[in-house]
């Protein structure tokens, strides 16, 4: 059956209420009754929409992960210079989106609940980290197909690039010892990472 505006409103209220509760009380410390009370819905509506508390969390993380995704349409580079610009732009976009305070709060939630609720970390890994890796892998593969990069495992190369753009920043943000970077700083970080990446991966 097609979803109605009312259905979407109920689902949205549940997700918003659940995310607030998870952040304040932790995943294991939040009950479906508390979520229902905050969202002003019944527990039955939660189970009808999602099926379980874990599914509510998965939906919340997936929805936020959508914000970090890069477009599936990547411009085709014709030179190493064009590829460098495309890769740096992709890196900057990922840095901007993952550095968002709400996304960082989700990482903190996953870490806090890693022992009691390992499915939280699994969900974040599935919808968050793998999303970024897949996006950069796609950019790398296109460059390999255009013979702008030597052959190699695209996912391993993507992991290297992600490590280069973060260089400890993600951990600092999670720990709260660094402020959300300004756009200019993110651009410099992405360009430096791209330069380092290209020096390690020459053209064939």
The per-residue pLDDT for 182 is: 95
Each residue of 160-186: b (16+ CB within 10 Å) or e? bbbebbbeebbeebeeeeeeebeeeeb
The residues of the chain that CATH labels 1.10.10.60 are: 5-51
Q: Which part of the chain has CATH 1.10.357.10?
A: 64-200
30-34, 37-41, 68-72: which range is least confident on average? Answer: 68-72
Q: Which of 6-10, 50-54, 195-199 has the highest mean pLDDT?
A: 195-199
Give the burial class of 92: count Cβ atoms within 10 A of its Cβ; 0-12 exposed, 13-18 middle, 19 or more buried.
buried
Q: What is the pLDDT of residue 117?
A: 75
Q: Which CATH number describes the domain made up of 64-200?
A: 1.10.357.10
Q: What percent of the chain has pLDDT over 70?
A: 91
Chain-wide mean pLDDT for the chain? 87
* pLDDT confidence of residue 9: 87
In this prediction, residue 71 carries a pLDDT of 59
DSSP 34: H
Average pLDDT estimate for 17-36: 92
Query: pLDDT band for position 1 (50/70/90)?
Result: very low
| Start-to-end C-alpha separation, the chain | 52
Distance CA 190, CA 165 (A): 6
Higher-confidence residue of 121 and 189: namely 189
| pLDDT confidence bin for 58, thresholds 50/70/90 | confident
Q: Evaluate if residue 199 carries a pLDDT over 70.
A: yes
Convert the pLDDT of each residue in 96-129 to its tens digit. Answer: 988 988 888 888 888 887 787 787 777 777 766 7
Q: Report the C-alpha gap between 197 and 202 in whole angstroms.
A: 9
Is pLDDT larger for residue 93 or for residue 115?
A: 93
The model's confidence at residue 147, banded by pLDDT at 50, 70 and 90, is very high
Within 13 A of 128's CA, how many CA atoms are on the CB side? 24
| pLDDT at residue 69, as a whole number | 63
pLDDT band, residue 49 (cuts 50/70/90): very high
Q: Which residue has the higher pLDDT, 43 or 1?
A: 43
Superfamily of domain 5-51: Homeodomain-like (1.10.10.60)
């Amino acid at each position: 059956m097609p979803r109605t505006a009312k259905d979407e409103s109920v689902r949205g209220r549940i997700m918003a209420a659940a995310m607030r509760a998870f952040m304040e009380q932790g995943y294991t410390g939040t009950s479906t009754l508390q979520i229902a009370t905050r969202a002003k819905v019944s527990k039955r509506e939660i189970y009808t929409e999602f099926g379980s508390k874990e599914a509510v969390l998965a939906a919340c993380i997936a929805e936020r992960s959508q914000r970090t995704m890069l477009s599936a349409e990547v411009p085709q580079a014709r030179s190493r210079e064009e590829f460098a610009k495309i890769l740096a732009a992709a890196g900057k976009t990922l840095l901007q989106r993952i550095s968002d305070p709400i996304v960082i709060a989700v990482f903190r939630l996953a870490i806090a609940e890693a022992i009691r609720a390992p499915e939280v970390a699994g969900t974040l890994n599935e919808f968050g980290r793998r999303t970024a890796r897949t996006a950069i892998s796609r950019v790398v593969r296109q460059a390999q197909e255009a013979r702008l990069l030597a052959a190699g495992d695209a996912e391993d190369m993507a992991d290297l690039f992600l490590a280069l753009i973060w260089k400890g920043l993600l951990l600092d943000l999670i720990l709260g010892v660094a402020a959300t970077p300004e756009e200019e700083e993110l651009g410099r970080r992405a360009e430096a990472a791209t330069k380092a990446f290209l020096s390690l991966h020459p053209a064939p």
